[in-house]
Amino acid sequence: MRVSKRPKGAIAAGHPETVRAAQITLEEGGNAFDAVMAAMVASTVCEPVLSSMGGGGFLMACPVGKAPVVYDFFAQTPGTHAPEEGCDFSPVVCDFGPTQQEFHIGRAAIAVPGAIKGLFEVVGDLGRMPVSRVVEPAVALARAGLPVNAMQARIFQVVGPIYMATPESRALFASKKDPARLIGEGEHFANIGFADAMEAIAREGQALFYKGEISAAIDTDCRNGGALRRRDLEAYRIFRRDPLRVAYRGASFITNPPPSSGGILVAFALALLDEATLTKTGFGSSAHLELLAKVMKLTNQARLEAGFSDKGAEDAGQALLDSELLHKYRTSILGVPASRRGTTQISVVDGDGNAAALTISNGEGSGYIVPETGIMLNNMLGEEDINPRGFHQWLADTRMSSMMAPSLLMQSDKRITALGSGGSNRIRTAILQVLINMVDFKMPLQAAVSAPRIHLEGGRLDIEFGFEPAIGDGLARSFEDVKIWDEQNLFFGGVHGVGYEPDTHNLWAAGDERRNGCTAILS
């Protein structure tokens, strides 16, 4: 959506109340960084499975006139492992409909959370408002409550075994109509404990969580089968990182750098595609999708060869962009005949042009609620995707890798787009395809987000509904395992983005329908 007069800001996120928190903040004089953090806190109330102050994430911040910077407030492994005897770590199976997936929960699944420290340090560095004002929309929302919408009810159904696993979680998330099941669509959800806790944390400071009464309660509880200790919380710190930059067809892609893997994998795929002529293939053509699927396959292979599974993530990242490796994979594609896991994204830009893209995750949640706070801590140590060494084999006191990749696209006409995605391993392919749609196929942001996608992983090519039926039949001849979906689905990620044009001060926003995308432009 384009507007002619200079507006106050644009917002894209996965829930109307998440957007509303950012909107309130911008209208009260906050900037994009105040607004994105206000939205993050609100998302933990209205998107409680995908987002939690007991989790962590990344912010790509681009202040006007300054270099972009990534705030890494993702999870950190504890300093010691949980004792084998009495280890609180159990598998649960969640039903996604077309497939099932096993996760692990319990106190031994909890890594050191960074969201609260991220809130304080981002607002302190870049914002205009005090934290106490930034959290006001979320506190009011948690206290008043809201009806559960269809998307959140569906997610609750998927993760039911986790959120019904402990008495404390059941007390917060079970249906008041039928306590044997989780809260459902249209039912009222409030979190008074969270409202009280966030007011206290905002008033007393982040030390209440990391060094005070809350950290003491976590330490006491996690001594019963967990690894997390008060010393881990006290030692946790934010990393401010220089982002990864990759040139692509005259544009600059700026993304989350190692030790996280998502951004570097998108960058690698773009490097493979940079010498291809996608515009001649036509969007959705067999040539377009075959090339895209091959790039995904080779990116998966390069990920293994570069050593993300068995060496330091930063060393692996350097190897992945090594010129010889790029040449090897480029020659595998170009000039050769064809031979036939929960996250949420928030993007904000203000009228001055400050841009912010934030991705946050709680894993699926551990089932453990910090006493009297309404905050469920993460289960990052129980996530197979980010534990390639195997469970209980993680390196102690180490920042964990993630597929999350909040990013910027700076185009030659000065337009800047802030975007990112939820969707576990599909994050990188969702972002990649939106970028290609914008740069190669010249689509507006919303069209680029809404266009159908593919995803290749583990030998299976998933093709989303929306392409010509004959395309799927043709790809089935080139790939042995092909699944053609009969709908657009949240499996393929959820890209929420905003854009800014400095010469005209025009703003626009795009929400991904797959994950209940919502937008607002403030005039």
Tell me the three state secondary structure of residue 102.
strand
Backbone angles phi, psi at 239, to 5 degrees: -105, 130
Backbone angles phi, psi at 506, to 5 degrees: -70, 145
**Facing residues of 369 across strands?**
376
Q: What is the DSSP string of 343-361?
A: EEEEEEEETT--EEEEEEE
SS3 letters across 164-190: CCCHHHHHHHECCCCCCCECCCCCEEC
Burial (CB count within 10 angstroms: exposed 0-12, middle 13-18, buried 19+), residue 497: buried
Q: Is the peptide bond before 259 cis (omega within 30 degrees of 0)?
A: yes
The answer to whether 64 and 32 are in contact (CB under 8 A) is: no
CA dist 162 and 49 (Å) reads 10
Tell me the three state secondary structure of residue 377.
strand
Cα 178 to Cα 46, 187, 217, 310: the distances in Å are 21, 11, 30, 47
Collect all residues with Cβ–Cβ distance below 8 Å to 211 and sequence separation of at least 6: 230, 233, 234
Known catalytic residue at 77: no
CA dist 51 and 113 (Å) reads 12
Catalytic, out of 18, 44, 255, 343 = 343
Strands 56-62 and 69-73: antiparallel
- Catalytic annotation, residues: 343
